[in-house]
Structure 1
């Protein structure tokens, strides 16, 4: 399937989402990969990961970039050679890329009950407003993970903790936006968060 959704949060930022329905061969056929990327995708043991990796390269093409325009720093954070900010994510059969003049982070996750098992590892302040009996509890937990993962990608600082340093202001799912803070080493950083749901998945992106 081609491009699934395009979102324009502001004049400096664009989000594109891909639904991965193509086979590995179909995804690979039109791409021009660097030698490093070719080796990386061939070394992946899971075809799902291979297809996720390749779908991200298709999203780059939608933005007008090639695989060779993308590189990663020593922390694993992606960058574009033209200096634009980029963040990348994929989960099961969806991938997403956000590109902006601003510092950004994005995450997509499948909504699954098993997230309750690890909730204690990434939720602290948010326990004050979460209701385990609510019908949207799993969706809210998934969105909180997505928000904190997007903050982690944006901040790109070793030692940052989802639970201890990232705080998400109370939100309603239908609002599709909230505010989050990173409280790290006696400094506070405020970020605008937007989010959406589709086909049993949650997606959130943070913009500095």
Structure 2
């Protein structure tokens, strides 16, 4: 089965990544979905999204949870009934989950040149250390986007803006980690972040 990676971040935190190579029916058949989850997946117009949704439920099973253990709050943030913290992501042929005793966020992104076109929409401070002419520019932009997306998922607060409220400290791709800050409404929050690259994708995750 395509559990692609399992990363033990620390004794309370684990990341699992799934490579989606099964068909929709093969993913659906072993699952016991809540009626609202089944309704949601059947309403999706893209089979890619359907398979991403279902693969996340397989990752839950790998953690020992079922679809019934997962619920969402009014901001769309996922929660587990046992009180553990969870964050979910899927992008094209990969999906991922991070589960921890602490607040967490995760994001998987495909590395694509078009991220350079929208860089000014989500980056401000980071332009001080990015060099657009280098061959790792797109990869670094993807890391920054993934970290900021993970922070947004962790905080789940409407009104936060990637460019204005999230800041990623300079990093080297070989480091696989950096520090990020949220500066929002006169309060500052510091987070440890990590990232990995595989098959043209980047996975970033954050923990306090």
TM-score class, shorter-chain normalisation, is over 0.9
* Equivalent in the alignment of 1:125: 125
Corresponding residue SS for 2:189? strand
User: Which position in structure 2 is the counterpart of 1:89?
Assistant: 89
- Paired with 2:117 and 2:81, the residues of 1 have a C-alpha distance of 40
Q: Do residues 63 (structure 1) and 52 (structure 2) align?
A: no
Counterpart of 2:166 in structure 1 is: 166
Task: Give how far 1:117 is off.
Answer: 1.4
* Distance (whole Å) between structure 1 residues aligned to residue 87 and residue 119 of structure 2: 24
Q: State the 1:166 CA deviation.
A: 0.1
The residue number in structure 2 matching 1:13 is: 13
**3-state SS of paired residue (1:114):** helix
Three-state SS of the structure 2 residue aligned to 1:158 is: coil
Unaligned runs of 5+ in 1: none
State the match for 2:146 in structure 1: 146
- Deviation per residue, 1:34-79 (Å, 9 max, x gap): 0000000000000000000000000000000000100000000000
Distance 2:12 2:156 in 1: 21
Q: List aligned pairs for 1:1-208, cutoff 5 A.
A: 1-208=1-208
Q: Can you list the C-alpha shifts for 1:148-175, whole angstroms capped at 9, x where unaligned?
A: 0000001111101100000000000110
Name the CA distance, whole Å, in 2 between partners of 1:155 and 1:50: 26
1:2 deviates by 2.1
Q: Give deviations 1:117-167, integer Å, cap 9, x for gaps.
A: 111100000000000001100000011000000000011111011000000
Gaps of 5+ in 2: none
**Pairwise CA RMSD:** 0.5
How many residue pairs get aligned? The number is: 208
Q: TM-score, normalised by structure 1?
A: 0.99
What TM-score results when the alignment is normalised by the length of structure 2? 0.99
**Partner SS state of residue 175, structure 1:** coil
Q: Distance in 2 between matches of 1:118 and 1:73?
A: 30
Moved over 6 A (4+): none
CA distance in 2, matches of 1:76, 1:67: 16
Secondary structure, counterpart of 1:18 in structure 2: strand
